[in-house]
Amino acid sequence: MIVTTQKEFSDVLAALGAGRRWVVVGCAECAAICQTGGSAQVEEMARRLEDAGREVLAQVSLASPCDRRLSRRDLRHVEAELRAADGVLCLSCGGGVQAVAGLVDRPVVAGLDAHFAGTVERLGVFHEECALCGDCLLNETAGTCPVALCPKGLRNGPCEGSHDGRCEADAEAECVWERIHARLAEAGSEECFTAFHRAPDPNRWGRPRTTRAPAGGAR
Ligand code: SF4
Ligand code: SF4
């Protein structure tokens, strides 16, 4: 899931500019889990906007703002309000903001900052465990990602600063390569890690990245 935090309310107000009438949309997926753009946060944001002298014409929680198919469907419920509004405040990741902007004929303002694709420990505690590098090493690193978990993103083993199993960038943290080697050794699979792993080919995975499912399904 995409981990987000809310922008400062003063920054949101500044981004709204002079527009008086707004539709506030949220995200029932990732931003709801982050408690940054779920229905409770949409309601709270609407209340704060009203307190700040803006008019909120509608509040809507989109099933998944980044999914244009679902957002097109959900936004039909507020078509009249969208026509009357000066703009839309979107509490979702940037992908959701841009997908919504492509569906409405109004300015769309981002209310959140998106940080990383994370796993969920519990509400409010998220971990970055995959940096979306496009060339997954997990099968060779005993299921532990060095790209996300090593501060230097090293793909081929520890740096020279690794000392007694600790990370040179953070003495409180273990060097992730220590964990990888221990797990490989435990599984008797050290030979898994004999090949050199180049950085992912930027020509293959340059930005913006797009994937298309192959005809006939999975490869
Ligand atoms: S190697 Fe790490 S960053 Fe790359 S795809 Fe696999 S889990 Fe994600
Ligand atoms: S000590 Fe280990 S985890 Fe820390 S930066 Fe070096 S290789 Fe990465």
What is the CA(120)–ligand 2 centre distance, in A? Answer: 24
Ligand nearest to the CA of 144: 1
What is the CA(203)–ligand 2 centre distance, in A? Answer: 27
Instruction: Walk along the chain (219 residues) and give the pLDDT tens digit of each residue.
Output: 999 999 999 999 999 999 999 999 999 999 999 999 999 999 999 999 999 999 999 999 999 999 999 999 999 999 999 999 999 999 999 999 999 999 999 999 999 999 999 999 999 999 999 999 989 999 999 999 999 999 999 999 999 998 889 999 998 899 999 999 999 999 988 777 778 888 887 777 677 777 787 776 655
**Quick one: pLDDT at residue 216?**
64
**Quick one: pLDDT at residue 111?**
98
What is the CA(1)–ligand 1 centre distance, in A? Answer: 14
Ligand nearest to the CA of 145: 1
Q: Nearest to residue 150, comparing CAs of 121, 129, 120? A: 129
What is the CA(210)–ligand 1 centre distance, in A? Answer: 17
- Answer whether 0.85 is exceeded by the pTM: yes
Ligand 2 in reach of 168 Cβ (< 6 A): yes
Residues with CB under 6 A from ligand 1: 130-133, 136-138, 145, 147-148
Which residue from 139, 145, 176, 180 has its CB within 8 A of the most atoms of ligand 1, so it is best to mutate?
Answer: 145
**CATH classification (class only), 2-116:** alpha beta
Which residue from 137, 145, 177, 193 has its CB within 8 A of the most atoms of ligand 2, so it is best to mutate?
Answer: 177
What is the CA(56)–ligand 1 centre distance, in A? Answer: 41
Domain ranges of the chain: 2-116, 135-193
